Structure 1
């Protein structure tokens, strides 16, 4: 089988090298930089700053990491050591969250309570466990109160961990494309528009959707070969409903958690923060096939239109939009879809059940609430013991979707609206539709400390829909 080609960018950051399993790098978006671990260590510098950026054929004043939107692709192996420096050249405080990684929530790891003021630098250092799941993760700011503004401004970057899933022979042979989905709201001069208070309330959306800062990129699909699509929703609020027109595709992973076997799907719903890995087999008639974004109502349209408001961006999410074009290329050595991937390990039996209610109201000046309370950094809302498993019932009593994200530890979705989920997989973010519910089974392992869970409509997080959880060592 041929070696993998990674479709991301042609420029490697100084000091980085390609992982041994990867081959030449093709570039649907020229100028994308990539930092890859070397000899078991990834070392990188990221500078957060406001810069003029090329964006879908125009210039835009965005918030960028190291001068690009999205930020550099960070690529590492399970078991690697990671050392990053974040230089803050913004006018606001900022920091980093390593979304989906199972690493400590303390010290210089995934500690979202550490903040760099304007002009300061933060150092991050942590080790991935040798058995860390391979998958697509990402990094973005997490300073409470400014998260939506900074992510919506462009601050987001993909992060790949190579693990056991990458050793499956068919996946190892597949070409690979990382697609970061973002949306922006710009004026004619390319400046970011200031959202009205009502748009902040419901979750800001932009009318310009980009893929890797462009739209739509051309992706080669080898005849008889496999293309691995790795999708990241890095938007602040927008939920994507995706379809590969007139061509089958197979889901192989969600949020870094591998499925037991490839599963053919028709559509994919991707909420903010969610990721998906898919395989496309080049077994159709040679042609061009569109990856499109279809209309999705997360409740904002009904709520705002009923109040006489017509949100910019949100009310334009009605027509299919092409996000990428997959075009057949030369015939390659036939590579079939894998028949099996990795076993999905069950989390064990729960010791208790908790309920979390997501709702709207007013509490201490905050509008979005969990169990009737807005976020308070002085308060611990949930205490758990390491080494235990719990069942969480999360009820959305609001008339709009709320994607739920838990830091540090993953979970499996057992039921949606009371109906069992077939073949649960490990996730860290899950959408809860308006007036819906989910039941999660959460395993708390390895790392003590305080972290958070929250709605990943980032305006909702900033306005109160977040709680603190303390993971205590077992007695």
Structure 2
């Protein structure tokens, strides 16, 4: 990684814009106003733990609604104007099992179009399923229906708006929530029955009682929230083992560390590992998830924190937060004698051994002119073109296995996200890696490369591949893909 680092004085886009605004005398929220970013449930640090309400499937069906509303929500020790699902930040958690049918009535009560993406689900990209090319207009209702395959992976997923050109502002503003699929992984000894914590990590900036739009916000002025709460406190008993479901709903690259507690990773992006991996630092790219087991340490108070990327060089200072505490973990009570953390988990089909039907290359480039705050001057490209929902950029054959090579010609990392079919990372910067699991989002390093393999299974139709820094996606860094039946 050190070979990629070149000295530069470049500023990331949002830092640049925020400093230009300060020079121009524009009002921006500064770091001293921390209480404005607390949960509304407790306006002090160490706020009471909060998780969104859970809606669970019954008899193989989850039938629910998600009402998109623009109203005051509980944030910041008071009420903050925001666009959310069902008037909560995050939206309600949807809890299902493989083989379930999920029916969601999306009711659009705001003054701009929106839609819904089930991030990480292996489902059809055709309406009324995960069709992100739809636009649900103001005042309209659309009835989504998702049929999860019986062999769908169990793990942590999420849903959010995917309305092109405004996905950044809608997701940053609160249009997201957790999806949980319970299945084979949950039934394994050592995983089964563990107490759970859901941690949806997001960024916010509040000004005049409202959230600053994502494309006008600044990394320097944002605060990290956990389930809409600023630095909440939760608890664990010494020796108790909990399962934490971590969702990065922000456009920032997170490096997470829990004082005095290794994190035992059991799944990435809703896909189980073959064996448990203990890590002191867990990296989660924008849009990514991690399921980890935490064993309570001796009595005391510990912090989960997001670490700086400074040690990796100046390019990694772009689109990543400064070091900051995220939550307090109190280890308290009598020591528990828990079932041991497992070692082996689930097998998977290692695509490094697969026959490759086709290889493709995707080059990521961008134009970020310094000296202007005009959003229209920022443009992002894949293979020299910006996204056009009328143009299918690549066509694949159902059942084929392909290798894709991504090349980054920009100074910043990009989280590559592909809908419908998960993939296996096989090389980074042309050096082989040993990832024995799939994922749906992975980091493309600055001035580096990423090589993946994936198989197009079960579903035909059109879907997208894009950078999950949503500002980049909205401004062109996305391609339309299509899987078709094999020609006769």
The answer to whether the superposition gives a TM-score over 0.5 is yes
Report the Cα distance in structure 2 between the residues aligned to 1:100 and 1:195, rounded to whole angstroms.
23
In the superposition, relative to structure 1, how do residues 385 and 326 fare at CA in structure 2: closer, same or farther (>3 Å)? farther
Map of 2:229 onto structure 1: 214
The alignment partner of 1:330 has SS state of coil
C-alpha distance in 1, partners of 2:125/2:313?
33
Q: Is the alpha carbon distance of 1:471 and 1:115 closer, same or farther for their aligned partners in structure 2, counting shifts above 3 Å?
A: same
Q: Relative to 1, partners in 2 of residues 1:303 and 1:270: Cα closer, same or farther, differing over 3 Å?
A: closer
Q: Does 1:358 align with 2:364?
A: yes
- Find the counterpart in structure 1 of residue 91 from structure 2: 71
1:225: how far off? 2.5
Matches within 5 A, 1:420-459: 420-459=432-471
Cα deviation digits, residues 190-211 of structure 1 (max 9, x gap): 21235676x6xxx877512110
CA distance in 1, matches of 2:215, 2:150: 46
Match of 2:344 among 327, 340, 359: 340
Q: Which residue of 2 aligns with 1:232?
A: 247
Task: Give the Cα–Cα distance (whole angstroms) in 2 for the partners of residues 467 and 365 of structure 1.
Answer: 20
Deviation at 1:322, TM superposition (A): 3.1
CA deviation after TM superposition for structure 1 residue 379, in Å: 0.8
Give, in angstroms, the shift of residue 300 of structure 1.
12
> Counterparts in 2 of 1:131-170, with a 5 A limit?
131-170=151-190
Residue 464 of structure 1 pairs with residue 484 of structure 2: no
CA distance 1:46–1:245, change in 2 (3 Å) = same
Residues 468 and 448 of structure 1, relative CA distance in 2, 3 Å threshold: same
Can you list the C-alpha shifts for 1:314-348, whole angstroms capped at 9, x where unaligned? 79x33432334252443334211112111122233
Which residue matches 1:7?
none
For residues 376-455 of structure 1, the aligned pairs below 5 Å read 376-455=388-467
Aligned partners of 1:358 and 1:395 also within 8 Å? yes
Other-structure match for 1:292: 305
- Matching residue of 2:65: 45
Partners of 2:442 and 2:287 lie apart in 1 by: 9
Q: Where does the alignment leave 5 or more consecutive residues of structure 2 unmatched?
A: 1-46, 369-375
Q: CA deviation at 1:108?
A: 0.6
Cα deviation, 1:136-165, whole Å, max 9, x if unaligned, reads: 000000110110010010111000001110
Which stretch has the larger CA shift, 94-103 or 261-270?
Answer: 261-270
What is the deviation of 1:272?
A: 1.1
Q: Give the equivalent residue in structure 1 for 2:238.
A: 223
Q: Does 1:251 align with 2:265?
A: yes
Give the alignment's TM-score, normalised by structure 1: 0.86
Aligned residues: 432
Counterpart secondary structure, 1:173 = coil
Tell me, yes or no, if the aligned pair for 1:299 and 1:399 is still in contact at 8 Å. Answer: no
Q: How does 1:3-152 map onto structure 2 within 5 Å?
A: 29-30=49-50, 32-152=52-172
State the superposition RMSD in angstroms: 2.4
CA deviations 1:168-216 (Å, max 9, x no partner) are 12111311111000111111x321235676x6xxx87751211001122
2:172, 2:213 within 8 Å by CA — same for their partners in 1? no
Tell me the equivalent position of 1:182: 202
